[in-house]
Chains A and B, each alone.
Chain A
Amino acid sequence: MRFLLYETGHAQPSAPPSQQMMEEVGKFTEETKRAGILLATGGLAPLGTRVRSSGGKLAVTDGPFTETKELTGGFALIEVKSREEAIEWAKRFRKIVGDGESVVQEVFGG
Chain B
Amino acid sequence: MTATDAHHAIDAVWRIESPRLIAGLTRIVRDVGLAEDLAQDALVAALEQWPESGVPDNPGAWLMATAKHRAIDRLRRNERLERKQEELGRDLVLQQEMSVGNLDAATPDDVGDDLLRLMFIACHPILAPEARVGLTLRLLASLTTEEIARAFLVPVSTIAQRIVRAKRTLTEARVPFEVPVGAELDARLASVLQVIYLVFNEGYSATAGDDLIRAGLCEDALRLGRILVGLAPQESEVHGLVALMEIQASRSRARVGPSGEIVLLLDQDRARWDPLLIARGLAALDRAEKLGGALGPYALQAAIAACHARARTPAETDWARIAALYDALAQLTPSPVVELNRAVAVGMAFGPAAGLELVDALTAEPSLRSYHFLPSARGDLLAKLGRLEEARAEFERAASLTQNARERDLLLGRAAACSRS
Q: Annotate B352-382 by CB proximity to A: 1 below 8 A, 0 otherwise.
A: 0000000000000000000000000000000
Q: What is the CA–CA distance of A77 and B277 in the complex, to the nearest angstrom? A: 12
Find out whether the CB atom of B12 lies under 8 angstroms from the CB atom of A82.
yes
> A39 contacts which of B12, B108, B253, B280 (Cβ < 8 Å)?
B280
Find out whether the CB atom of A31 lies under 8 angstroms from the CB atom of B108.
yes
Q: What is the CA–CA distance of A24 and B225 in the complex, to the nearest angstrom? A: 25
Residues of A contacting B276 with CB < 8 Å?
A: 39-40, 77, 110
Q: Annotate B184-228 by CB proximity to A: 1 below 8 A, 0 otherwise.
A: 000000000000000000000000000000001001001111110
Find out whether the CB atom of A84 lies under 8 angstroms from the CB atom of B8.
yes
Find out whether the CB atom of B16 lies under 8 angstroms from the CB atom of A36.
no
Q: Is the interface of B mostly helix, strand, loop or mixed?
A: helix
Q: Annotate B8-29 by CB proximity to A: 1 below 8 A, 0 otherwise.
A: 1101110110000000000000
Find out whether the CB atom of A34 lies under 8 angstroms from the CB atom of B112.
yes
Find out whether the CB atom of B225 lies under 8 angstroms from the CB atom of A85.
no
- A50 lies within 8 A of chain B by Cβ: no
Residue of B8, B112, B280 with most partner-chain A CB within 10 A: B8
- B274 lies within 8 A of chain A by Cβ: yes
Known: A109-B253, A110-B276. A36 touches B15 (CB 8 A): no
Residue of A77, A79, A81, A110 with most partner-chain B CB within 10 A: A81
- B57 lies within 8 A of chain A by Cβ: yes
- A30 lies within 8 A of chain B by Cβ: yes
Find out whether the CB atom of A88 lies under 8 angstroms from the CB atom of B253.
no
- Contacting B at CB under 8 A, from A20-37, are 30-31, 33-37
Q: What is the CA–CA distance of A83 and B88 in the complex, to the nearest angstrom? A: 44
Task: Kindly report which residue of chain A lies nearest to residue B229, judged by CB atoms.
Answer: A36
Residue of B12, B13, B222, B230 with most partner-chain A CB within 10 A: B12
Residues of B contacting A57 with CB < 8 Å?
A: none
- A95 lies within 8 A of chain B by Cβ: yes
Find out whether the CB atom of A35 lies under 8 angstroms from the CB atom of B12.
no
Residues of B contacting A82 with CB < 8 Å?
A: 8, 11-12, 15
- Contacting A at CB under 8 A, from B226-281, are 226-227, 230-231, 253, 274, 276, 280
Find out whether the CB atom of A87 lies under 8 angstroms from the CB atom of B227.
no
> B11 contacts which of A33, A39, A40, A84 (Cβ < 8 Å)?
A84
> B13 contacts which of A35, A88, A109 (Cβ < 8 Å)?
A88
Known: A30-B108, A85-B16, A110-B276. A36 touches B11 (CB 8 A): no
Residue pairs across A and B with CB atoms within 8 Å: the count is 56
Residues of B contacting A1 with CB < 8 Å?
A: 219
User: How many residues on chain A are close to B (CB under 8 Å)?
Assistant: 23
Find out whether the CB atom of A79 lies under 8 angstroms from the CB atom of B230.
no
Task: Kindly report which residue of chain B lies nearest to residue A87, judged by CB atoms.
Answer: B12
Find out whether the CB atom of B223 lies under 8 angstroms from the CB atom of A79.
yes
Known: A79-B219, A110-B274. A36 touches B9 (CB 8 A): no
- Contacting A at CB under 8 A, from B1-45, are 8-9, 11-13, 15-16
Q: What is the CA–CA distance of A92 and B342 in the complex, to the nearest angstrom? A: 49
Q: Is the interface of A mostly helix, strand, loop or mixed?
A: mixed
Q: What is the CA–CA distance of A88 and B13 in the complex, to the nearest angstrom? A: 7
Residues of B contacting A81 with CB < 8 Å?
A: 15, 142, 216, 219
Q: What is the CA–CA distance of A33 and B11 in the complex, to the nearest angstrom? A: 21
Taking the nearest CB of chain B, how far is it from the CB of A54, in angstroms? Answer: 29
Find out whether the CB atom of B15 lies under 8 angstroms from the CB atom of A34.
no
Known: A34-B227, A35-B16. A88 touches B9 (CB 8 A): yes
Task: Kindly report which residue of chain B lies nearest to residue A109, judged by CB atoms.
Answer: B253
Q: What is the CA–CA distance of A82 and B16 in the complex, to the nearest angstrom? A: 11
Residues of A contacting B231 with CB < 8 Å?
A: 34
Residue of A82, A85, A87, A110 with most partner-chain B CB within 10 A: A85
Find out whether the CB atom of B225 lies under 8 angstroms from the CB atom of A95.
no
Taking the nearest CB of chain B, how far is it from the CB of A95, in angstroms? Answer: 7
Taking the nearest CB of chain B, how far is it from the CB of A63, in angstroms? Answer: 27
Find out whether the CB atom of A84 lies under 8 angstroms from the CB atom of B12.
yes
Taking the nearest CB of chain B, how far is it from the CB of A25, in angstroms? Answer: 15
Find out whether the CB atom of B230 lies under 8 angstroms from the CB atom of A33.
yes
Residues of A contacting B112 with CB < 8 Å?
A: 34
Residue of B112, B142, B224, B230 with most partner-chain A CB within 10 A: B230
> A88 contacts which of B12, B57, B142, B280 (Cβ < 8 Å)?
B12
Q: What is the CA–CA distance of A80 and B16 in the complex, to the nearest angstrom? A: 10
Taking the nearest CB of chain A, how far is it from the CB of B109, in angstroms? Answer: 10
Find out whether the CB atom of A36 lies under 8 angstroms from the CB atom of B226.
yes
Q: Annotate B48-91 by CB proximity to A: 1 below 8 A, 0 otherwise.
A: 00000000010000000000000000000000000000000000
Known: A82-B12, A88-B13, A109-B253. A37 touches B223 (CB 8 A): yes
Pairs across A and B, CB under 8 Å, 16 listed: A33-B230, A34-B227, A34-B230, A34-B231, A35-B16, A36-B223, A36-B226, A36-B227, A36-B230, A79-B219, A81-B216, A81-B219, A82-B8, A84-B9, A88-B9, A88-B16
Nearest 3 interchain pairs by C-beta: A36-B226, A84-B12, A36-B227
